Amino acid sequence: MQRYFIQTNAIQGSKIIITGQDYHHIKNVMRMKLGNQVMVCTEKGQSYLAEIIAYTDTEVLLSTINQLQEQVELPVMVTIAQGMVRREKTEEVIRRISELGASSYVSVMMERSIVKIKENDNKKITRYQMIAKEASEQAHRTKIMTVMEPMLFTDFLHQIKQYDLCLVAYEEQGRANDRSLPRVLKGFTGKTILIVIGPEGGFGASEIKSLATTTAKLVGLGPRILRTETAPLYLMSAISYHYELGETNEN
Amino acid sequence: MQRYFIQTNAIQGSKIIITGQDYHHIKNVMRMKLGNQVMVCTEKGQSYLAEIIAYTDTEVLLSTINQLQEQVELPVMVTIAQGMVRREKTEEVIRRISELGASSYVSVMMERSIVKIKENDNKKITRYQMIAKEASEQAHRTKIMTVMEPMLFTDFLHQIKQYDLCLVAYEEQGRANDRSLPRVLKGFTGKTILIVIGPEGGFGASEIKSLATTTAKLVGLGPRILRTETAPLYLMSAISYHYELGETNEN
């Protein structure tokens, strides 16, 4: 069933009003008729089954049938922080980690990033956020992943302590046969995880040094060298595997 | 260090002769000089550190310095069988699963595949194999993933029994909160795993029925709906996480 994300204030009693792009999608792309049903999710993670009861020139009016009890969100909130890479790679990562259940994404300007933070990044963020929304909808999530404004590495370092756990995917740990990841996840009882991934070419030596002075843990992702756009998918999959399929999952 | 895959017969005693595209890459792309070192891997999974000792118009001659002991391959051989999808998506999956350690990939013509097997698929396979080779090299693997010829679903069904384990990623199992995957992997002692993924739109009802009559196990990949190009990455990451990082790994 088609699902749409709405602002909580679009719900008025048992009625829901949808405007803008979603209105266009329902009316002109999906060509839904009165009586057709859709799934509607609020930014707070509530979801409803609703029926189309009227169209105006700019709005579609729905009536809620019932609220749905779904647990499709990861029991932990995962933020992926990635060394800034080209737009196409960023979009690819945003699309996949939205599907895989991440809560937010931020590009961090690192030493080896070949792209820089620019004045007109706002437009990019809007586009990234749209991709995150579409991928979240397709994955049948009840929350949309947030795309944050890009950050300088030095500013980013100060953010780390806000998270209950920070994992740095470091290829040298992988080569050195580091197997700490499952142990770290098993011992973790917090709610927020920050994952740090280098840009193409990896972290600079001084960046790894700086990260090591924080609460961040350097972890390996196996003996093969993963590209910067593959490492986030590995970690998101591992986290889902651990929390959502794992036998020891207490959530 | 740059790594190149060669045929075993390119090694003659302590000398290695590289021709063709790799010759071009070493000489004209990397512009390596005499005395420069590269990593050379044979199709049998042996790898050598080698030094460039001479160039001719068509060949580069290397001398082996020593054989390397590396364990960068998964302890199980994983084949990904995917419902046939468009070329760009196939390429994307081949690239990522090569990185993540898969042994082979095959497209299977399924009910909901929007692309069909064509006469000129040979060219595509050559291109796919090249992508697999490049991705394997970049991931520092010692083996290249094999891309097999596309298959009809009915022919594919007969292949299943050749594998020690067959897992079918089925979204209805995910929705039904199936958590069998870690248990299946934990209990598995064989060497070859076949993973079956539906095309866009998923498996047809009769396909799932046919698969259920074989030794295949239907498994869920968590509560979110993953796209056909994301599911293989989830499973490859989970298998690496289990075998290469897991504490119970005996390999």
Region A19-33 average pLDDT: 93
Supply the pTM of this predicted model.
Answer: 0.80
Answer yes or no: is B251 within a domain: no
Residues A171, A116 within the same domain: yes
Range of the domain at A221: 77-245
Q: Which residues contact A18 (CB under 8 A, 6 or more apart)?
A: A4, A6, A10, A26, A40, A59, A60, A62
CATH code of the domain covering residue A15: 2.40.240.20
Mean pLDDT of A150-157: 96
Q: Is residue A251 part of a domain?
A: no
* pLDDT at residue A247, as a whole number: 60
Predicted local confidence at residue B238, as pLDDT: 97
Evaluate whether residue A250 is within a structural domain.
no
B69 pLDDT exceeds 90?
A: no
Indicate the residue among A23, A49, A68 that finishes a domain.
Answer: A68
Report the distance separating Cα B182 and Cα B238, nearest Å. 9
For the cut 50, the answer to whether the pLDDT of residue A249 exceeds it is: no
Indicate whether B251 pLDDT > 50. Answer: no
Instruction: Give yes or no: residues A117 and A43 share one domain.
Output: no
Provide the ipTM: 0.79
User: Nearest-CA neighbor of B41 among B143, B147, B145, B146?
Assistant: B143
Q: In the predicted model, what is the mean pLDDT of residues B48-76?
A: 91
Return the pLDDT at B241: 97
Residue A176 within any structural domain of the chain: yes
Q: How confident is the model at residue B247 (pLDDT cuts 50, 70, 90)?
A: low
**B95 lies in the same domain as B184:** yes
Q: In the numeric block, which tokens belong to residue B84?
A: 């046939």
Is B134 a domain residue? yes
Dist. CA A16–CA B251, nearest whole Å:
56
Q: Are residues A189 and A230 in the same domain?
A: yes
pLDDT of residue A203: 96
Distance from CA of A18 to the nearest CA of B (A): 24
- Beta-carbon contacts of residue B14 (< 8 Å; ≥ 6 apart): B63, B64
Same-domain pairing of B89 and B209: yes
The rounded distance, in Å, linking the Cα atoms of B124 and B144 is: 17
Q: Domain with B129 in it: what CATH number?
A: 3.40.1280.10
Mutate to test the interface with B, among A195, A230, A242 (most CBs of B within 10 A): A230
Residues B59 and B97 in one domain: no
Q: What domain count does chain A have?
A: 2
Are A156 and A238 contained in the same domain? yes
Residue B249's pLDDT band, with cuts at 50, 70 and 90, is very low
Question: Residues of B with CB below 8 A from A99's CB?
Answer: 224-227, 230
Smallest Cβ–Cβ distance between A139 and the set B100, B225, B245 belongs to: B225
Q: Is residue B158 part of a domain?
A: yes
Same domain, B110 and B234: yes
Beta bridge partners of B18: B60
Residue A12 neighbours by CB under 8 Å, 6+ apart: none
| A167 and A197 together in one domain | yes
Same-domain status, B173 and B126: yes
Cβ atoms of A227 and A167 within 8 Å: the answer is no
Task: Identify whether residues A192 and A91 lie together within a single domain.
Answer: yes
Nearest by CB: A140 against B182, B225, B247: B225
Cβ-based interface (< 8 Å): residues of A facing B: 70-72, 96, 99-101, 138-141, 179, 181-183, 220-227, 230, 233-235, 237-238, 240-242, 244-247, 249
Closest A-chain CA to B246? A182
- Say yes or no: A37 and A89 in one domain: no
Is B175 part of a structural domain of the chain? Answer: yes
Share the mean pLDDT of chain A.
92
Domain stops at, among B68, B98, B122: B68
- B250 assigned to some structural domain: no
Q: Check residue B232 and give its pLDDT.
A: 98
Last residue of a domain, one of B45, B68, B91: B68
Is residue B57 within 8 A of residue B84, CB to CB? The reply is no
